[in-house]
């Protein structure tokens, strides 16, 4: 992929910074607005976002909201009706995902978190429409980027294409008519960036390929912060090779059980990674939802894609990749701050747990492989 120059990117740390910026952009929208999310909860945050979308629609903005049929299938009827009455056009991606019989298509989720306003400003990252607070724990740990500049045109094109495809599949052809494509955004900064997405057609491996290429060319340092981490052979070998050539490799991973299957399956990989010098830390202050990386203090990515088979092989995802020393430095500093204050280092001795825990990890890992085998995904990437 080619780099798009002339952008200004702003790092947004968790919902405390993301939602005020995103809501401000929605309130300033004049022509059109696209929003995609996996989750949309009926909590304080969800109600604020729903109200902002409704206000935009009432003042004549064409508002398109696309939510995942599984993740947001339980969207509160009150929220749904309020938005639709205001003129918000609301669709669900694969809304038939609750049938009892298993089909491989059920794994094809809309996992992107994407907002594009008037073709001028966009937001991409891992943050769903949901409160950051979980019980008495620290706020959910995550990132997003605010994007301004020519790259927003790529984001708008991806959102419009997905909207039209969903309209046609659900026989809502009248909804597929969108406002005229806005003029390309002007150059507003000096950051080179790429909008990298994953789908099941032309862009099946784009996000994984971006990671692998950057890791293979890393010289000094690789820092990955991922809530769900279960790389296939290609990406795993790239990390192992980097560590063996004395590149510092740091992993900040989930330290609390969120999705048990991936949580335990990840632990199968600890010993071979630690054996070659990879540093592994587990985030314990609260729930981690980040999907970011910084390499050699200049290359970075922020988005919705985890390094696991379901993100890399099945879900629709979106990341921004950039080369920017200031932005990479800010993201690196924030990750290292969380490692210092909120994480526990995993030592080789810590992997020698009870026979029961080791069995549990291997059972979880084998279950992931069985699921992928049944669906036909990742047969090669996730073999031993």
What are the residue numbers of the active site?
111, 113, 118, 289, 291, 296
Using alpha carbons, select from 203, 353, 221 the residue that is nearest to residue 279. 221
SS (H, E, C) the chain: CCCEEEEEEEEEEHHHHHHHHHHHHHHCCCCEEEEEECCECCCHHHHHHHHHHHHHHHCCCEEEEEEECCCCCCCCHHHHHHHHHHCCEEEEECCCCCCCCCCHHHHCCECCCEEEECCCEEEEECCCECCCCCCCCEEEECEEEEEECCHHHHHHHHHHHHHHHHHHHCCCHHHHCCCCCCCCCCCCCCEEEEEEEECCCCCCCHHHHHHHHHHHCCCCEEEEEECCECCCHHHHHHHHHHHHCCCEEEEEEECCCCCHHHHHHHHHHHHHHHHCCCEEEEECCEEECCEEEEECCCEEEEECCCECHHHHHCCEEEEEEEECHHHHHHHHHHHHHHHHHHEEEECHHHHCCCHHHHHHHHHHHHHHHHHHHHHCCCCCCCCC
d(CA 341, CA 329): 18
């Amino acid at each position: 992929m080619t780099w798009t120059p002339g952008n200004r990117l702003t790092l947004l740390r968790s919902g405390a910074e993301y939602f005020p910026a995103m809501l401000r952009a929605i309130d300033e929208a004049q022509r059109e607005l696209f929003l995609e999310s996996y989750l949309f909860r009926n909590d304080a945050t969800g109600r604020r976002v729903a109200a902002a979308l409704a206000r935009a629609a009432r003042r004549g903005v064409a508002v398109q909201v696309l939510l995942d049929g599984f993740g947001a299938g339980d969207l509160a009827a009150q929220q749904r009706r309020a938005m639709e009455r205001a003129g918000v056009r609301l669709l669900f991606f694969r809304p038939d995902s609750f049938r009892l019989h298993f089909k491989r298509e059920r794994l094809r989720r809309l996992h992107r978190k994407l907002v594009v306003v008037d073709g001028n400003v966009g937001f991409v990252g891992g943050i769903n429409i949901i409160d950051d607070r979980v019980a008495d724990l620290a706020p959910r740990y995550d990132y997003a980027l605010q994007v301004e500049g020519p790259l927003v045109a790529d984001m708008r094109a991806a959102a419009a294409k997905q909207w039209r495809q969903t309209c046609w599949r659900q026989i809502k052809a009248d909804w597929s008519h969108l406002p005229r494509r806005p003029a390309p955004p002007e150059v507003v900064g000096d950051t080179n960036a790429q909008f990298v997405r994953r789908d099941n057609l032309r862009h099946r491996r784009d996000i994984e390929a971006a990671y692998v290429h950057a890791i293979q060319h890393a010289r000094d340092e690789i820092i990955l912060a991922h809530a769900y981490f279960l790389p296939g052979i290609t990406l795993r070998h790239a990390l192992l090779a980097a560590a063996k050539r004395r590149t510092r490799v740091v992993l900040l991973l989930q330290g609390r059980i969120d999705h048990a299957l991936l949580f335990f399956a990840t632990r199968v990989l600890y010993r071979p990674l630690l054996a070659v010098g990879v540093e592994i830390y587990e985030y314990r202050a609260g729930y981690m939802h980040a999907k970011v990386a910084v390499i050699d203090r200049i290359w970075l990515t922020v988005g919705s894609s985890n390094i696991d088979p379901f993100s890399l092989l099945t879900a629709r995802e979106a990341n921004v990749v950039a080369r920017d020393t200031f932005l990479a430095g800010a993201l690196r500093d924030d990750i290292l701050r969380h490692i210092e204050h909120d994480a526990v280092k995993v030592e080789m001795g810590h992997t020698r747990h009870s026979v029961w825990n080791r069995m549990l990890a291997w059972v979880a890992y084998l279950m992931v492989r069985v699921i992928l085998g049944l669906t036909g995904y990742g047969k090669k990437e996730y073999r031993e």
